[in-house]
Amino acid sequence: AQSVTQPDIHITVSEGASLELRCNYSYGATPYLFWYVQSPGQGLQLLLKYFSGDTLVQGIKGFEAEFKRSQSSFNLRKPSVHWSDAAEYFCAVGENTGFQKLVFGTGTRLLVSP
Amino acid sequence: DAMVIQNPRYQVTQFGKPVTLSCSQTLNHNVMYWYQQKSSQAPKLLFHYYDKDFNNEADTPDNFQSRRPNTSFCFLDIRSPGLGDAAMYLCATSRRTAQETQYFGPGTRLLVL
């Protein structure tokens, strides 16, 4: 069965600094990979997704992620963090079972300091 | 402009008292999902509908049921809520292919007293 590991439970970054959130997955075939963001009390918003092709994926709000098959990783990056980026970030792998079954990691909570 | 709508946003119920959560969508997607997200945990898929076909996850308790009367609406029924069922319940929709994005609603936070 597939699984997703987000090793960092909390990360604090200064506003304007760069950000990298780690995600490792376990999946037998070529994975479909996603990053979602969840603000407090809100649902999940898709930041970006990878299905195939270029391993560097651009998303919304200035985020990007890089798929590295050799490392089974799909880390999320942003060059300059804004205070509004403070939220919970979930990495997910999609299992192609005829519909898109998502398995989520446990999330990383991002705090942005002034 | 709302695409996936969940009502109510907050629901308080009593231990053992049946409760129904509602989800509607304006995307005309044929797949609708219900997730349970407990505090500080990842969302966990309970079940999904492909059109009217209901698909239950193997580890979803029998206490959780769902109805989908038409394409736009889907309901989550908790027959006898326990304290452990307090959580955020997220509804999502997508088209029926693995490469389609799931669109999530804002969630309903359920409190069980």
DSSP result, A3-60: EEE---SEEEEETTS-EEE--EEE-SSPPEEEEEEE-TT--EEEEEEE-SS-SEEE-G
- Nearest CA to CA, how far is A53 from chain B (Å)? 13
Q: Residues of B numbered 1-60 whose beta carbons fall under 8 angstroms of chain A's beta carbons: which are they?
A: 4, 6, 31, 40-45, 48, 50, 55
pLDDT for the residue B97: 67
Q: Specify whether the CB–CB gap between B92 and B103 falls below 8 A.
A: yes
The pLDDT assigned to A74 comes to: 97
**Closest CB to B104 among A43, A101, A107:** A43
Determine the pLDDT at residue A82: 96
Which is nearest to A4 in space by CA: A77, A64, A90? A90
Measured in angstroms, the CA of B100 and the nearest CA of chain A are apart by 7
pLDDT at A2: 80
Residues of chain B with pLDDT under 70: 1-2, 97-99
The beta-carbon neighbor of A106 closest among B6, B42, B55 is B42
Determine, for residues A44 and B43 on separate chains, whether the beta-carbon distance falls below 8 Å.
Answer: yes
Nearest CA in chain A to B87: A41
pLDDT of residue B2: 62
pLDDT digits (tens, 9 = 90+) for A31-62: 889 999 999 878 899 999 998 888 999 999 99
Query: Rounded CA gap, B112 and B17, in Å?
Result: 9
Cα dihedral A50/B107/B38/B65 (nearest 10): -100
Residues 84-103 of B with CB under 8 A from A: 90, 92, 94, 96-103
Taking CB atoms and an 8 Å cutoff, what residues of chain B touch A36?
A: 104
From chain B, the residues in CB contact with A101 under 8 A are 45, 48
Chain A residues within 8 A of B40 when measuring between CB atoms: 106-107
The amino acid occupying position A44 is L
Distance between CA atoms of B72 and B27, rounded to whole angstroms? 8
At B60-87, the pLDDT tens digits run: 999 999 999 999 999 999 999 999 999 9
Give A12's strand partners: A111
Residues in B closer than 8 angstroms to A51, CB to CB, are 99
Q: How many helices (H) and strands (E) does chain B have?
A: 0, 11
Q: Reduced to 3 states, what is the DSSP secondary structure of residue B84?
A: helix
Angle (CA) B48-B34-B78 rounded to 5° is 110
Mean pLDDT of A58-67: 96
Residue A104 β-bridge partners: A92
Q: Give the per-residue pLDDT at A8.
A: 95
Question: Smallest CA–CA separation between A108 and chain B, in Å?
Answer: 10
Closest CA to A71 of A5, A24, A1: A24
